[in-house]
Amino acid sequence: MKKILIVGNWKMNKTPSETEAFLKALLPIDFPSVESVICPPFTALVIAQQHLRYSGFLLGAQNMNAHDSGAFTGEISPLMLRELNVSYVILGHSERRTLFAEKDEDIRLKLISALEHGLIPILCVGETLEEREKGLTEEVITKQVHAALRDVPCPSSLVIAYEPVWAIGTGKTATSAEAEEVHTKIHTLLQGLYGMQSAFIRILYGGSMNPQNAEALLQEKHIDGGLIGGASLKAESFRELLTIAQRLS
Ligand code: PGA
């Protein structure tokens, strides 16, 4: 059985000293049946790595460049992340797609590079409100998944995060039934691409997940965990989410 995966995406929040204060408030905790990941900003990876050692938590990054090194001012490479013991990397978050003009092909190249370097990609997909209202959800998700995984042989490790754009940071969550409907479609898409080998790929829900709605979402058959923004920023609510996940495991 897959472990429930809970990933905190801090976005552009917390300095290194704030990261240290958060981790001192959170740790030690022990949720052996949950895979727990924190994705702080790049500048807090070092301090987070020091505090998370022996904690049972894994470290993630929020983005990366597809190249190993070179003239890419302001970018961070997979080699730099690996040296800090980063295990996961979020790719194609909707904020990167919309605010920083990331295209499907950029995301595909990053995903290939992450896999080559032993990083586990968390590929984000999701429809806007306008697309949902036009009935385009399935089409959008299919296009994003196919584009990012084009010519990618069955990856040894991969996580997909379904994040409806209209639910991110808005307090509006997809109902568990709405989320499950899309998760089931993604599950079927992955089976179409990789057959039985897709069974290990975890599909997370993201978009205003919090201690109030997590239980209903995580109980759904094809929801394997959560990608959590706002509710991962306070030690108390993050601990509550991990407690719920542990209980359901
Ligand atoms: P949210 O963010 O939980 O604050 O909606 C989730 C995300 O964008 O990953």
Q: Kind and range of the H or E element at 203?
A: strand 202-206
Q: Which residue has the higher pLDDT, 172 or 181?
A: 181
- Rounded to the nearest whole angstrom, what is the distance from the C-alpha of residue 209 to the centroid of ligand 1? 7
Q: What is the mean pLDDT of residues 83-111?
A: 97
Q: Say what the pLDDT of residue 1 is.
A: 67
- Spell out the domains of the chain, with CATH numbers in brackets: 4-248 (3.20.20.70)
* pLDDT band for position 171 (cuts 50, 70, 90): confident
Which residue's CA is the closest to the ligand 1 atom numbered 1? 229
The C-alpha torsion from 79 through 85 and 122 to 170, rounded to 10°, is: -110
Computed over every residue of the chain, the mean pLDDT equals 96
Q: Say what the pLDDT of residue 2 is.
A: 79
Q: Say what the pLDDT of residue 169 is.
A: 84
Contact of 163 with 126, CB cutoff 8 Å = yes
Q: What is the mean pLDDT of residues 202-208?
A: 96
Q: Say what the pLDDT of residue 63 is.
A: 98
Collapsed DSSP state (helix, strand, coil) of residue 232 = helix
Which residue among 163, 170, 204 has the greatest number of ligand 1 atoms within 8 angstroms of its CB, and so is best to mutate? 163
Contacts with 154 (C-beta within 8 Å, 6 or more apart), sequence order = 193, 194, 197, 198
CB atoms within 10 A of CB 219: 12
Q: Give φ, ψ of 9 to 5 degrees.
A: -105, 105
The C-alpha torsion from 79 through 41 and 158 to 156, rounded to 10°, is: 20
Asked if the model's pLDDT at residue 113 lies above 90, the reply is: yes
Q: Say what the pLDDT of residue 43 is.
A: 98
Record the tokens describing residue 216, joined without a space: 């209903």
Which residue among 10, 100, 208 has the greatest number of ligand 1 atoms within 8 angstroms of its CB, and so is best to mutate? 208
Q: What is the mean pLDDT of residues 64-85?
A: 98
Q: What is the mean pLDDT of residues 128-152?
A: 96
- Rounded to the nearest whole angstrom, what is the distance from the C-alpha of residue 79 to the centroid of ligand 1? 27
Nearest to 155 by CA among 91, 117, 198: 198
Record the tokens describing residue 105, joined without a space: 């092909």
- Rounded to the nearest whole angstrom, what is the distance from the C-alpha of residue 208 to the centroid of ligand 1? 6
**Which residue has tokens 């989320």?**
179
180 in catalytic set: no
Contact of 229 with 206, CB cutoff 8 Å = yes
